[in-house]
């Protein structure tokens, strides 16, 4: 408004009024977006990482450190199948760094970096992630266990056997098999 109570219709006055209206819309919108961002940041809970015996489960496979060991299991001399999909979950969808794909006994070690992993960790994952495993582990819980690594009897605690590239492991619950098997890894590392 000019001095006499009349509206200033000059070009510059109209431009100021237009900018003022624009700012009355933009500033509240920017404040609302900022408030929503702050509230979302405060309420955000990162997904909890699922882990068993220190081995994590992630939505993708890692290839930074990827080796294979092989496990044969015998109960009173009879071969038992190591199940497929040990350590592979559908809900939540993830793979443990130690898992199987097929039922051939191949243990895949796929981790974001080279680490030491043990048979005990894999057995814990098997027991906690595979349907029907409780019945197997309950059935063998009172049996003595003899372990063989690359055809030689292992002298320590079988759970401490390292999972390393091309390592053949045999667990014999109760009476061992007549012959300790060997495994052909072919082109697997």
Q: Which tens digit of pLDDT belongs to each residue from 45-91? A: 545 558 999 999 998 888 899 999 999 999 999 999 999 999 999 88
What mean pLDDT value characterizes the chain? 88
Among 16-30, 38-52, 66-80, 100-114, the minimum mean pLDDT is found in 38-52
- Compute and round to an integer the Cα radius of gyration of the chain: 31
Question: Taking Cα atoms as reference points, which of 149, 161, 61 lies closest to residue 117?
Answer: 161
pLDDT digits (tens, 9 = 90+) for 153-181: 999 999 999 999 999 999 999 999 999 99
pTM (2 d.p.): 0.74
Q: What percentage of residues in the chain have a pLDDT greater than 90?
A: 62
Q: What is the mean pLDDT of residues 1-27?
A: 72
DSSP characters over 53-118: TTEEEESS---SEEEEEEEEEEETTEEEPPPTTTTEEETTEEEESEE-SSSS-EEEEEESS----B
């Amino acid at each position: 408004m000019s001095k006499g109570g009349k509206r200033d219709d000059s070009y510059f006055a109209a431009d100021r009024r237009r900018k003022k209206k624009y700012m009355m819309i933009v500033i509240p919108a920017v404040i609302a977006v900022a408030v929503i961002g702050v509230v979302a940041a405060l309420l955000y809970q990162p997904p909890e990482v699922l882990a068993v015996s220190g081995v994590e489960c992630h939505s993708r496979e890692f290839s930074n450190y990827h080796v294979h060991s092989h496990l044969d299991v015998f109960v009173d001399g009879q071969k038992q199948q190591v199940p497929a999909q040990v350590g592979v979950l559908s809900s939540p969808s993830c793979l443990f760094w130690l898992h199987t794909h097929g039922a051939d006994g191949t243990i895949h070690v796929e981790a974001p970096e080279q680490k030491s992993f043990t048979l005990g960790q894999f057995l814990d994952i098997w027991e906690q992630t595979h349907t029907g495993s409780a019945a197997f582990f309950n059935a063998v819980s009172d049996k003595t266990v003899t372990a063989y690594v690359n055809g030689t009897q292992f002298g320590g605690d079988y759970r401490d056997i390292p999972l390393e590239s091309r390592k053949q492991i045999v667990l014999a619950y109760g009476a061992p098999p007549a012959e300790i098997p060997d495994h052909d890894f072919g082109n697997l590392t």
